[in-house]
Structure formats: structure tokens, C-alpha cells
């Protein structure tokens, strides 16, 4: 069992209108309003951020965004700046999700710039890394993750990364129902933590939270969370329903 405070985060992806997101947030708050031993975050679509922020204000639920751009402002049609996220009430921002990498050409270099911009704005980056099914079959899981970490965190100091959250999301497990076993997830999380220690020192390695993502459900969350290097979960589909998500949050 990790000594770091657990975090359960919901990535609502491209689901829920403003009204639907606000209703889900309102219901979630009613279910987890007394939760204090787990950090809870929800990341709705950009259009729903303000409405969800209003519903969760003053509650244990915090607000995250699903992406950002690295510039502070400018002629970048369709993009959202870090300052805009802060102004609407975001505390966290998801960076480098596999769907951003797969469908929108996001690179490790871009992830690095976005992470820097988030930290500069006072946002907590949730940096996503993960291997595809073919990479796993070719025994390339650790080299892929190490490359993503090396390039994504290049140029940072341990002090700058003090608030960083890492989310290990094996691409082959996202939305497929094929979650990694607790043992597999633990072994990868331990390797990630070892990489952090080697490159940024023991202090950051001990304090950094590493979440698991990929078909996390009420029937497997407790076993996953019992592993020493798994500090929480970044949840997709199971976070869309307030009742189901609350079961993950209250896994103890």
C-alpha cells in the first residue's frame, strides 16, 4: 500500500454537454462529499469546465482539463492557454494522453513544452505515458516508457517536477476492457519510479504519484490500489457515471 495520498481522476473525454457534465458533477459531489483521504479530479470537455467548476466549488472534487497549448496567447485558432484553464478554476491538466498522440500527432517534444507551460502557470500536469499492444508484444514496454519520460521531462529539475503526476496508461488497455493485472501494473510502476530516482533523485521518486489507467473498474480497483507503487487511477469510461465513479473513489 502506497504512503502517498491516493488520487482518482476521471477523464470524461468527448462526452457530456454542459448540462450533462454539470448534472454528473452535482451527483458525484453528493456521493463523495465526505471523502478526504483520496484526491478526486474530473476533467470534462472545455465547454463544460465552467459549469462543472461551479458545481464542485468548495467540495473535495477538483477540476482538470484534458489538454492545453504551450503559448500564453496568440493567433492559435482552436487552442486553449494555461491561463484560460487557471481562470476557469482548473488545478490539473492531462498532457500527452495516448489518444492525443494517436489521433492528433502529439509528440514527446510537444508534451515537454506543454508540461513546462502548465508548471509555469501553476497547474499540476498529469503526464500520460504508455505502450501499444505491438510494442508490448515486442518486449519494448520499458524502452518506450523511458523514451517518453526522457523526452517529455527533458530540461526539468526535480524541484520543478515536485507537483507532477504520472499516469501509466497501456494503450492496449484503454477502453478495451483488458486491464493490466495488478502484478503487471505494479512491475511497470516500479520501473517508472526507478527511472525517476535514477534521473531526478530519491526524494522525487518517493513523493511522485504514479496513476494507472486502462479499464479500471469497481471489480479491479481495490487490487490495483493495494500495490505499493500504484498511487491512484486515471479513469475513462467508468468515470462517466457518478455512481460507478464514486465506487472507485471509495474503493477502501
Chain segment 220-231, per-residue pLDDT in tens = 999 999 999 999
How confident is the model at residue 64, as a pLDDT? 98
The closest of 208, 139, 136 to 174, measured between CA atoms, is 136
Q: What is the C-alpha separation between 55 and 61, in angstroms, rounded? A: 9
The pTM assigned to this predicted structure is 0.96
Residue from 55, 131, 169, 189 carrying the catalytic annotation:
169
**Residue 45, Cβ density class (10 Å: 0-12 exposed, 13-18 middle, ≥19 buried):** middle
DSSP 210: E
Segment 17-46 shows an average pLDDT of 96
169 is an active site residue: yes
CA distances from 89 to 14, 16, 64, 154 (A): 19, 19, 8, 28
Which phi and psi angles does 127 have, rounded to 5°? Answer: -85, 120
Q: Which of the four pLDDT bands, split at 50, 70 and 90, describes residue 2?
A: low
pLDDT attached to residue 26? 98
Q: How confident is the model at residue 249 (pLDDT cuts 50, 70, 90)?
A: very high
pLDDT of residue 3: 72
**Residue 166 has what pLDDT?**
98
In the set 97, 99, 106, 131, the catalytic residue is: 97
pLDDT (mean) for 53-76: 98
Q: Which CATH number is correct for 7-249, 3.20.20.70, 3.90.79.10, 3.10.270.10, 2.40.50.140?
A: 3.20.20.70
- Identify whether 97 is a catalytic site residue: yes
CA-based torsion, 170, 215, 210, 180: positive or negative: negative
The pLDDT assigned to 171 comes to 86
What percentage of the chain reaches a pLDDT higher than 70? 98
Examine the pLDDT at 31 and tell me if it is beyond 90.
yes
Of the chain, the percentage scoring pLDDT greater than 90 comes to 90
pLDDT tens for 135-192 read: 988 999 999 999 999 999 999 999 999 999 999 999 877 766 676 789 999 999 999 9
Summary mean pLDDT of the chain: 95
The pLDDT of residue 133: 87
Amino acid at each position: 500500500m502506497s504512503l502517498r495520498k491516493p488520487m482518482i481522476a476521471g477523464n470524461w473525454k468527448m462526452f457530456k454537454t454542459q448540462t450533462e457534465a454539470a448534472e454528473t458533477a452535482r451527483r458525484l459531489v453528493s456521493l463523495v462529499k465526505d471523502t478526504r483521504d483520496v484526491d478526486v479530479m474530473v476533467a470534462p470537455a472545455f465547454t463544460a469546465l465552467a459549469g462543472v467548476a461551479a458545481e464542485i466549488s468548495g467540495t473535495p472534487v477538483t477540476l482538470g482539463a484534458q489538454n492545453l497549448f504551450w503559448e500564453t496567447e496568440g493567433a492559435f485558432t482552436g487552442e486553449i492557454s494555461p491561463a484560460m484553464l487557471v481562470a476557469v478554476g482548473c488545478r490539473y491538466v492531462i498532457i500527452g494522453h495516448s489518444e492525443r498522440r494517436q489521433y492528433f500527432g502529439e509528440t514527446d517534444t510537444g508534451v515537454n513544452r506543454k508540461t513546462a507551460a502548465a508548471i509555469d502557470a501553476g497547474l499540476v500536469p498529469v503526464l500520460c505515458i504508455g505502450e501499444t499492444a505491438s510494442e508490448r508484444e515486442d518486449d519494448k514496454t520499458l524502452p518506450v516508457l523511458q523514451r517518453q519520460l526522457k523526452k517529455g521531462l527533458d530540461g526539468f529539475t526535480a524541484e520543478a517536477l515536485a507537483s507532477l503526476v504520472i499516469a501509466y496508461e497501456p494503450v492496449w488497455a484503454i477502453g478495451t476492457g483488458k486491464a493490466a493485472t495488478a502484478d503487471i501494473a505494479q512491475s511497470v510502476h516500479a520501473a517508472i519510479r526507478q527511472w525517476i530516482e535514477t534521473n531526478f533523485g530519491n526524494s522525487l521518486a518517493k513523493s511522485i504519484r504514479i496513476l494507472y489507467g486502462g479499464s479500471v473498474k469497481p471489480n479491479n480497483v481495490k487490487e490495483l490500489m493495494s500495490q505499493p507503487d500504484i498511487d491512484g487511477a486515471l479513469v475513462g469510461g467508468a468515470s462517466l457515471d457518478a455512481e460507478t465513479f464514486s465506487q472507485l473513489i471509495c474503493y477502501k
